[in-house]
């Protein structure tokens, strides 16, 4: 099962949960018990560009 990261929108706690593929429910926050967390993007998707160019200050 993949490990997903969630961030609670109530207390900003970040927690991880093992969830089966296709699961869409949000697990309760371990800090406040809220279920308003959102799933964080996977690490490979955080770069933003999607290309391999890296940072280019000043643009192209
Ligand atoms: Zn919380």
Q: In the predicted model, is pLDDT for residue 48 greater than 80? A: no
Q: Give the pLDDT mean for 44-59.
A: 58
Question: What's the gap in Å between 57 CA and the centre of ligand 1?
Answer: 37
The class level of CATH for 1-44 reads mainly beta
Please give the share of the chain, as a percent, with pLDDT higher than 70. Answer: 72
| pTM of full prediction above 0.75 | no
Q: Which two tokens stand for residue 46?
A: 């955080």
Question: What's the gap in Å between 1 CA and the centre of ligand 1?
Answer: 23
Question: What's the gap in Å between 40 CA and the centre of ligand 1?
Answer: 14
Q: Which two tokens stand for residue 1?
A: 């099962």
Ordered by start, the domain boundaries in the chain are 1-44
12 neighbors 5 (Cβ within 8 angstroms): no
Question: What's the gap in Å between 37 CA and the centre of ligand 1?
Answer: 7
Q: Using pLDDT thresholds of 50, 70 and 90, give the confidence band for residue 45.
A: very low
Q: How far apart are CA 29 and CA 54, in angstroms?
A: 35
Q: Give the pLDDT mean for 14-38.
A: 89
């Amino acid at each position: 099962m993949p490990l997903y990261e969630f961030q609670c929108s109530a207390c900003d706690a970040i927690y991880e949960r093992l969830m089966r593929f296709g699961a869409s429910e949000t697990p309760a926050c371990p800090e406040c018990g809220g279920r308003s967390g959102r799933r964080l993007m996977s690490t490979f998707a955080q770069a933003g560009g999607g290309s391999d160019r890296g940072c280019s200050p000043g643009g192209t």
